[in-house]
Amino acid sequence: MSSLPADYMEFVHISKQFPGVLALDDIDFGVPEGSVRALVGENGAGKSTLLKILSGAHPPTSGHIRIADKNVVFENTADAIDAGVAVIYQELQLVPELSIAENIYLGHLPAGPLFIDYARLWENAVESMHTVGLGDVSPKVRVGRLSIGQRQMVEIAKALTRNAGIIAFDEPTSSLSSRETDVLFGIIRKLREQRKTIFYVSHRLEEIFEICDSVTVFRDGRHVSTRRGMEGLTRDMIVKDMVGREIVDIYHYQPRPLGEVALKVENVTGPGLNAPVSFEVRKGEIVGCFGLVGAGRTELMRVLFGVAPRASGSVELFGLPVDIKAPADAIQAGIMLCPEDRKKEGVIPVLSIQENTNISARRHHLRMGFLDQRWEYDNVMDKIRALSIKTPSQRQLAKNLSGGNQQKVVLARWLAEKIKVILLDEPTRGIDVGAKSEIYDIIYRLAGEGIAVVSVSSELPEVLGVSDRILVFSEGELVADVPRAEASQEKILSLALPQESKKHFRGGEK
Amino acid sequence: MSAQTTGPADQKSSSMATVIWRDFGMVVVLVAIFAICSISVDRFLSIPNMKALTLAVSMTGMVACTMMFCLASANFDMSCGAVVACSGVVAAQVINLAAPSLGGTLGLIIGIVAALCVGLLIGFVNGVTIAYIKINALITTLATMQIARGFGYIIGDGRAVGVSVEEFFYIGTQSWFGIPIPVYITVACFIVFGILVSKTAFGRNTLAIGGNEEAANLAGIRVSRHKLNLFLMHGLMSAFAGVVLASRMTSGQPTTSQGFELDVISACVLGGISMAGGIGSIWFAISGVLIMGILQNSMNLMNIQTFYQYVARGAILLIAVIFDKYKQKYM
């Protein structure tokens, strides 16, 4: 109590259980007044869930929040706002059709005898807009006409008019220009001087060194470390805390002989890819793609499979150029994709396992234009056995299957095709450990048969565990191609985090 | 839907009994209704009434076959009633124009081909607008419905167009072995489209598109092209039904078949074809069409006034879709 300032706000033994997942496990730490606390961790480490609990969007399963030595319970977001908490999300919560002033005071617009007291509204708004650097904009301007950075300022002004003492920013700079980022940082410093408590969530470690005075690291829903004071702290130390999970070998990796180049991607660009992507995958090789959300991995898969248009560049299969304009072209050429979102893009929920499995390959087995019922039945039964899909019947509707079994059904669909390359986008997301290792076995089996495998994953240990080679993506670019022998968790994550040389770094400011 | 995917859900909805109920439940209902009407409604089972009943449902039956494909692909068509009218008028006008110079048979053929082209044309406009320009199917076909209706009036000059070639009346008015020819046509349609939906990749792909369009696309189905084909097929079928109707009425009438599209959609939905797409079987279409037809026929026999019939039909449809919603949820 004597040397350290007392914590103004504390998370006390907070846990959050979602069906099947413990998203937060006994989170317990505090933040003093007038400080900017960085919250960092990989995707899925628990930062977003913690913000949701702070904002009242989710109640914690156990534990509670203390503000100024008082226990508080947020039943809903209104409770949190009343308690002086404001969370500013990446997706801003503004109404573009309304004016700045109306947005700032939405929910408590100054009332006149009959109508809104607009004179007072404009006047009040000008005042709060001035504090966030929007002094030269009219409060009557519609929010839809503002830049993303200005909108963020409106969001902050909104928080300030509600007397928020605790303000959390979720990836605030991801769509800001460097000038807008400077303005934001200026405001955050001012808020710190006003003794506000600030949470700052970002993947950009350079920003954290610039603006924060303490760092809390999360991993797998647990609190790993809190370091007060940035003195002596290095980027590498933070990265180490982020990745330092013990690796249990559930991967059973075995090296395989590799054949000739199967897939050659040259200078490919498309939506979500900010720079041309080039790489090769050999026959029987498993190439892992790692990156944070929005890094461009899924976007690349979609371009290669013909779901999204390829803006430039070329794709070759075994030395022959292929022109893929639609998924049907990709499949014809021998490229298959198991998409990221199984429920939305993978299975057809109202159709049976048999239908879902045969939907593509059946075209090779028609008899005088009609479906070959015998083949359709044999094929689905064969795949149910081969992939050990757990179901009482091939007539079971896909919507009644568990996530792991749905993923197997999507895989089963391609196994009757002539696969040259298979693209797997987050093949084990949301699947329990047992089913995961089954999926890895299938991946090895495919590679063993000489298929080129490209597997996207957000889980570092998985990428390191199954891949022969790792492609690292960051902010829409392929930034590194790392062989298995040279890969470590620290190295890969460090490459995947946005680099300081980019547009967001402002030298000489400190 | 997400709540169903956890836990012991894997054991659900797979026993033979539930599968049969899922696929043939409405046929059971149809048989029950038929039995009840046979017993309780006077003259229902008589041969003249059976003839009248089957003839009455023949039009809805034909168009329901292709409407089933539209609905199963999570699409919709409001224009088919207007296409029926417009194609009938076109057939009549073109036959009257062509027959004097080219002879009866050739005139007849040209007239029918012209009518079918009207259907293909409207189907093409619907298909391109919905599948490629991606405009909502309800709005698109609401527009083409009015366009087709308008052209029906323009081409017929606002009146019924009598047909000068008598052979034209054959298919609509004659019977084989005591059964009207349109009934044979409808039965043939049921068989052809029944095979198409259950035994071909085309039919299966239609269900896949309706079940999850994005997943169907990622499974290699060329979704836009497929949807265009569906609307072409449906336009052609509607136009064909229009020719049969014109033949039955011995004239092309621009005012005919108002609200016909709603009868067809009602019948399909009543039979269990989901408006949300992904579910369709010829048995659903057949039971829906026949249940609607039997109820209407019975109400006529019981001398229930038309106004009350509307109320009864609406209520039955409402009950059927609510029932269907629960059937899907718990199976």
Q: Which CATH number fits the domain that encloses residue B90?
A: 1.10.3470
**3 state DSSP class of A22:** strand
Q: Give domain status of residue B146, yes or no.
A: yes
Average pLDDT, chain A: 88
**Whether residue A298 is found in the same domain as residue A326:** yes
For residues A330 and A114, the model is more confident at: A330
pLDDT band at B15 (very low <50, low <70, confident <90, very high): low
What residues pair up with A315 in beta bridges, in sequence order?
A265, A322
Contact of B294 with B26, CB cutoff 8 Å:
no
| Nearest by CB: B207 against A344, A351, A413 | A351
**3 state DSSP class of A138:** coil
Q: Give domain status of residue A510, yes or no.
A: no
Rounded CA separation B273/B285 (Å):
7
Rounded CA separation B284/B281 (Å):
5
B221 chain-A contacts, CB cut-off 8 A? 328, 359
Angle A96-A100-A101 (CA atoms, 0-180°, nearest 5)?
135
Rounded CA separation B175/B178 (Å):
5
> Given an 8 Å threshold on Cβ–Cβ distance, is B10 in contact with A400?
yes
**Whether residue A85 is found in the same domain as residue A172:** yes
> Given an 8 Å threshold on Cβ–Cβ distance, is B222 in contact with A326?
yes
pLDDT > 60? residue A500: no
What residues pair up with A39 in beta bridges, in sequence order?
A201, A216
Q: Which of B20, B212, B223, B324 to mutate to test the interface with A (most CBs of A within 10 A)?
A: B212
pLDDT > 50? residue A217: yes
Q: What average pLDDT does this structure show over A233-254?
A: 78
Scanning B148-167 for CB atoms below 8 A from A yields none
Question: Please, what's the b/e burial string for B42-54 (b: 16 or more CB within 10 A of its CB; e: otherwise)?
Answer: eebeeeebeebbb
> Given an 8 Å threshold on Cβ–Cβ distance, is A359 in contact with B207?
no
> Given an 8 Å threshold on Cβ–Cβ distance, is B10 in contact with A413?
no
**Whether residue A231 is found in the same domain as residue A319:** no
**Whether residue A326 is found in the same domain as residue A363:** yes
Q: DSSP letters along A212-266, please?
A: -SEEEEEETTEEEEEEES-TT--HHHHHHHHH-PPPP--S--------SEEEEEE
**Whether residue A78 is found in the same domain as residue A176:** yes
| Number of domains forming the structure of chain A | 2
pLDDT > 50? residue A507: no
Task: Using CB atoms within 10 Å of the CB of residue B128, give its burial: 0 to 12 exposed, 13 to 18 middle, 19+ buried.
Answer: middle
**Whether residue A235 is found in the same domain as residue A271:** no
For residues A176 and A349, the model is more confident at: A349
Q: Which of B18, B217, B218 to mutate to test the interface with A (most CBs of A within 10 A)?
A: B218
- Percent of chain A whose pLDDT exceeds 90: 52
Q: Give domain status of residue A250, yes or no.
A: no
pLDDT of residue B9: 38
Least confident of A127-141, A461-475, B233-247: A127-141
Q: What average pLDDT does this structure show over A122-142?
A: 88
Pairing of strands A197-201, A36-40: parallel
Q: What average pLDDT does this structure show over B168-186?
A: 93
**Whether residue A229 is found in the same domain as residue A177:** yes
Q: What average pLDDT does this structure show over B113-132?
A: 97
- Percent of chain B whose pLDDT exceeds 70: 93
Angle A356-A357-A363 (CA atoms, 0-180°, nearest 5)?
100
> Given an 8 Å threshold on Cβ–Cβ distance, is A344 in contact with B214?
yes
User: Which residue of chain A is at minimal alpha-carbon distance from B23?
Assistant: A395
pLDDT of residue A422: 97
| Nearest by CB: A350 against B19, B218, B278 | B278
- Percent of chain A whose pLDDT exceeds 70: 95
**Whether residue A315 is found in the same domain as residue A401:** yes
Domain span at residue B152 reads 26-36+46-329
User: Which residue of chain A is at minimal alpha-carbon distance from B217?
Assistant: A327
Q: Give domain status of residue A252, yes or no.
A: no
| Number of domains forming the structure of chain B | 1
Least confident of A309-313, B100-104, B232-236: B100-104
Q: Give domain status of residue B119, yes or no.
A: yes
**3 state DSSP class of B160:** coil
B191 touches chain A (CB under 8 A): no
Q: Give domain status of residue B9, yes or no.
A: no
Q: Give domain status of residue B251, yes or no.
A: yes
pLDDT band at A5 (very low <50, low <70, confident <90, very high): low
Q: Give domain status of residue B320, yes or no.
A: yes
pLDDT of residue A430: 74
pLDDT band at B1 (very low <50, low <70, confident <90, very high): very low
Q: DSSP letters along A183-209, please?
A: HHHHHHHHHHHTT-EEEEE-S-HHHHH
**Whether residue A219 is found in the same domain as residue A367:** no
Instruction: Give the number of A-B residue pairs with CB atoms closer than 8 Å.
Output: 111
Q: Give domain status of residue B77, yes or no.
A: yes
pLDDT > 90? residue B220: yes
Q: Which of A67-71, A160-164, B148-152 has the highest mean pLDDT?
A: B148-152
B14 chain-A contacts, CB cut-off 8 A? 391-393, 395-396
Selection from A95, A89, A214, A58 nearest residue A159 by Cα: A89
Q: Give domain status of residue A255, yes or no.
A: no
pLDDT tens digits, residue range A271-314?
989 899 999 999 999 999 998 877 899 999 999 999 999 999 99
Q: What average pLDDT does this structure show over A195-219?
A: 91
Least confident of A192-201, A232-241, B164-173: A232-241
pLDDT band at A237 (very low <50, low <70, confident <90, very high): confident
pLDDT > 60? residue B13: no
A359 chain-B contacts, CB cut-off 8 A? 204-205, 208, 216, 219-221
A400 chain-B contacts, CB cut-off 8 A? 4-5, 9-10, 12-13
Least confident of A114-118, A216-220, A374-378, B267-271: A114-118
Contact of A383 with A412, CB cutoff 8 Å:
yes
Domain span at residue A269 reads 261-496
Q: Give domain status of residue B75, yes or no.
A: yes
pLDDT > 90? residue A330: yes
What residues pair up with A18 in beta bridges, in sequence order?
A21
List of residues 6+ apart from A67 with CB closer than 8 A: A8, A9, A10, A83, A84, A85, A165, A166
Q: Give domain status of residue A254, yes or no.
A: no
Last residue of a domain, one of A177, A212, A243: A243
Q: Give domain status of residue B15, yes or no.
A: no
> Given an 8 Å threshold on Cβ–Cβ distance, is A400 in contact with B222?
no
CATH number of the domain within which A213 lies:
3.40.50.300
**Whether residue A157 is found in the same domain as residue A116:** yes
| Nearest by CB: A347 against B2, B11, B215 | B215
> Given an 8 Å threshold on Cβ–Cβ distance, is B217 in contact with A366?
no
Residue type at position A182? D
**Whether residue A230 is found in the same domain as residue A268:** no
**Whether residue A341 is found in the same domain as residue A230:** no
A482 to A204, A282, A405, A447, B267: CA distances (angstroms): 22, 15, 32, 19, 61
List of residues 6+ apart from A124 with CB closer than 8 A: A101, A105, A110, A161
B217 touches chain A (CB under 8 A): yes
pLDDT of residue A152: 87
What residues pair up with A214 in beta bridges, in sequence order?
A37, A228
| Nearest by CB: B218 against A339, A391, A401 | A339
